Amino acid sequence: MAKKKEKQLNLPQDAQPLDGCDFCMQFDYDEPHVIGASADSDGVLELVIKSYLDAGVTFVCPTTGKKLRIYSRPLTDTGRSILEQQTEVKNP
């Protein structure tokens, strides 16, 4: 059986674990909205969007009606540039 690949965490340098936390989303500079919580440092909020046309999620601010949409679309020049930068970082 193949060994399951361990996921890499995308954390800021010198990130300190929180012993309990709110998971928040924020539209522009509006008040943050708590969308989840963890009682200890093992908490995780994971959002997975597969590479299918228009697969995604939309969040709507309950007070302002602003929408935050995270979705997939066909690869563009901007996306290709990001992929090239990631390859350069991995293979200097």
**Cα 79–chain centre separation:** 16
Nearest to 59 by CA among 49, 69, 50: 69
What confidence tier does 21 reach under pLDDT thresholds 50, 70, 90?
very high
Q: Summarize pLDDT for 56-87 with one digit per residue, the tens.
A: 999 888 888 888 889 998 999 999 998 898 88
- Is residue 24 within 8 A of residue 33, CB to CB? The reply is yes
Tell me, what's the pLDDT at 14? 87
Tell me, what's the pLDDT at 2? 56
- Is residue 66 within 8 A of residue 27, CB to CB? The reply is yes
Q: Is the pLDDT of residue 43 over 70?
A: yes
CA separation for the pair 84, 76 (Å, rounded): 12
Whether pTM > 0.75 for this model: the answer is no
Q: Bridge-partner residues for 68, per DSSP?
A: 59
What confidence tier does 6 reach under pLDDT thresholds 50, 70, 90?
low
CA 76-8-84 angle, 5° bins: 30
